[in-house]
Structure 1
Amino acid sequence: MVIIDVFRELALSFPEVTEEPHFEKTSFRIKKKIFATYDAVNERACIKLSEIDQSAFSTDNSVIYPLHNKWGKQGWTLIEMKKVHSDLFKDALITAYCEVAPKKLAAQVQTRI
């Protein structure tokens, strides 16, 4: 299980990340592009992954799984925060950041995986 404070601390530890509202959710952005959101009501995160990374992380569809719409086909992936192990969450969030961040910034955090 991962709580929002852990999520926030990790996301904000990446270079140039900002936290901003996104409708009824909290978003984490790099250069104004969202790489992750947090839905407090449903205790779910949503992250942006490549199609290959989405497939790799979605081995247990009760914990991490693609959105069931066109956004899911674009790499948006849900994470059930009550069920996810902290190490798996950390790897997924780093991967999402690296997917969206410019290459120079992504290179600074890729060693954390």
Structure 2
Amino acid sequence: MATGNDLRRIALSLDGTTEAPHFDRAAFKVARIFVTLAADGRTANIKFTAEEQEFKCMLAPGAFTPVPNAWGKQGWTTVSLAALGVAELRNALEMAWQHAQPKKRK
């Protein structure tokens, strides 16, 4: 069972990640925000690609749910932390962190 403290520890261990307030949540970002943690530490919103979101929600519907509205259509997914193990949370955060890297110049 993962916790908000696990999320914070894992997210901040990913290279270049910083934490800052984001409305009533804590946001973790590299070049872009890739996860926000609810103030109560029970849920988080993680940014996946549409395909990753669909797969995660199909694989573990009790843990992953698309955020309602346009945010969910952009890949933002609510995660119930208690429904995940720490290894599963790490995998999800690493996936989202990779997409938040600075764009490479050509």
TM-score normalised per structure 1:
0.83
Cross-structure match for 2:36: 37
User: Structure 2 unaligned runs (5+)?
Assistant: none
SS in 1 for 2:83: coil
Q: Which has the higher contact order (CA 8 A, sep 6+)?
A: 2
- The residue type equivalent to 1:87 in the other structure is A
Query: What CA deviation, in whole Å up to 9, does each residue of 1:58-83 have, x standing for no partner?
Result: 12222111112110000001100111
Note the alpha carbon deviations across 1:53-112, whole angstroms, 9 max, x for none: 1111112222111112110000001100111122211111110101111367xxxxxxxx
Could you tell me which residue of structure 2 aligns to residue 110 of structure 1? none
Structure 1, gaps ≥5 residues long? 105-113
Aligned to 2:50: 51
- TM-score calculated relative to the size of structure 2: 0.88
Runs of 4+ in 1 over 3 A off after TM superposition: none
Backbone CA RMSD of aligned residues = 1.6
Residue identity over aligned pairs, in percent, reads 33
Q: How many residues align?
A: 103
